[in-house]
Chains A and B, each alone.
Chain A
């Protein structure tokens, strides 16, 4: 995804104004194959790292996430992250599921260990046996956030860590996207 589609810049110029917010939305969930977007967390698979593109035959254990190479976004005003996971406790005891979204520099081999990476979105939900609940998370990052300058650079890794405490929970990843927004006119010198 190196230097994302200049194809679009021609159009952006035609639809460009001081009031136009240009947003590049990367749908991270689409990089998770359909067959793995739904599944079961259990004692064997209590942690999932998504997406997984290491091709090692086991899905959900890739520690370096998805590499994104977007244009350098000096005009970035805000970054918005959204995830939605629908969950159902199919076990016999109470369970808890946590979700974290991490971003890291492109050279980071393990983006979920807190070393060199940033946790930009985190939350959890408790589920009683048989209970069904979504885990909806959203965050908007601005200049003050430590991860902001990394996102501004356009070259970063992103991934989701889903962890289970409990017995068995069925999950479906419904949404996971990163939206980077800025105004092209801000690039005009004062």
Chain B
């Protein structure tokens, strides 16, 4: 039962972080508008200049996860068809589809048919069966960032009426992964590239290490935001919007884990084993508590048809989790009460901008965004002619991604579709997907 709950929570949080189909067609671009208010509170009062109503996003990615037709990603098959699971399930394909639930992946990342760990006196290599080196580094989201008042995207938002123009009050349910990353230390990376272990032997403990990190949290939150168009500025022909937001959460659960593995050597310098350490901190009701508050601010400027936005989340913030830290080192474990706390100025900057170029019979919308929270960048364009839309975009978001899409807006009916492209984790290569939304 617990496994099913975990799977549903993972799916729920992945859906919360999923992008709209229009956004996917634009390569992940977040356009200026109310939809970008979570990143920049000033957008709460910005007109929907660039927004377009989008229908219901079909969770096509779920098909792959639950239908026996796709045994390579069908995790529930473990419970009802163990033999097929053992023969066909692919953990990498499952991971790739789970982290791209908003689209149906035609060719999710596929584990190599063979993984070869080649060990010599002074060398280590990891390759696929064809001798191609595997990618040791990959990262999703914030890469398993540590405790912060910067919460993951809300799974549920309930706006509460305040009766005051520009003042918004929102109740949120927050659930999600803070990211996941596997990272090789610089020394390990170079040792693997050159096949020479000398640098790994240069110190004890070895500087060659493989580190995996992840974090996840759940909680309920309340945010109070105020946004308003600013009065006209003499001599400036544009319009400026500004907003501030205070957000607090009460934690329902938190997990932060880091696993480190590094080789050990005998007195002659031969690799003779591995030392590993897993540290995880958890806080759940009954074992600890957690809460956080933060302040965000933002500004949006409209000037001669251009729109620019600058949002700073966690301008100042404080978060504290009390719980238990467990350390597992070479097979033995210990646990102790611990606290995770962060405070002060740890801002996450979000920049975006757009321009709509009028054309004969249509228009061309171009935009770009950058987020320091996950070091993502996107650039996209949409050509609109009558009820039809054509979109394309590209960006960096835990690897290169590309989008191509189209849409149609008719009386009482809308359809958007996007062909998505992203880089496969671990094995590299390009993964293609399809996203679809329908509105009536």
A residues at B contact (CB < 8 Å): 1-27, 29-31, 53, 69, 179, 181, 185-186, 188-190
Contacts and interface: CB of A to CB of B under 8 A. Distances in A.
Contact of A24 (B117, B138, B425): B117
A23 B116 contact: yes
B88 interface: yes
A13 B91 contact: yes
Given A5-B273, A185-B87, 18 more contacts: A5-B119, A5-B271, A7-B262, A11-B115, A14-B92, A14-B95, A14-B138, A14-B426, A15-B115, A17-B88, A19-B90, A20-B111, A20-B113, A20-B115, A22-B115, A22-B117, A23-B117, A181-B114
B426 A17 contact: no
B123 A3 contact: no
A9 B272 CA distance: 16
21 contacts: A4-B271, A5-B263, A6-B261, A7-B262, A11-B134, A11-B182, A11-B210, A14-B426, A15-B134, A16-B90, A17-B90, A17-B110, A18-B90, A19-B90, A23-B116, A24-B119, A29-B120, A69-B272, A69-B273, A181-B114, A190-B83
Given A6-B274, A10-B182, A188 B82 contact: yes
Contacts, number: 141
A7 B274 contact: yes
A36 B144 CA distance: 48
Chain A interface main SS type:
mixed
Given A15-B92, A15-B427, A19-B87, A25 B112 contact: no
Interface in B121-139: 121-124, 126, 129, 134, 136, 138
Contacts of B87: 18-19, 185
Contacts of B123: 27, 30
A190 B82 contact: yes
A1 B78 CA distance: 34
Contacts of A2: 272-273
Given A14-B425, A24-B119, A1 B210 contact: no
A2 B270 CA distance: 11
Nearest to B90: A17
Interface in B318-368: none
Nearest to B118: A25
B271 A19 contact: no
Contacts of A23: 114-117
B93 interface: yes
Contacts of B271: 1, 4-5
A186 B86 CA distance: 7
A16 B94 CA distance: 10
B212 interface: yes
Which 3 pairs show the lowest CB-CB distances between chains A and B?
Answer: A30-B120, A17-B90, A27-B120
Contact of A7 (B113, B261, B270): B261
Contacts of B270: 1
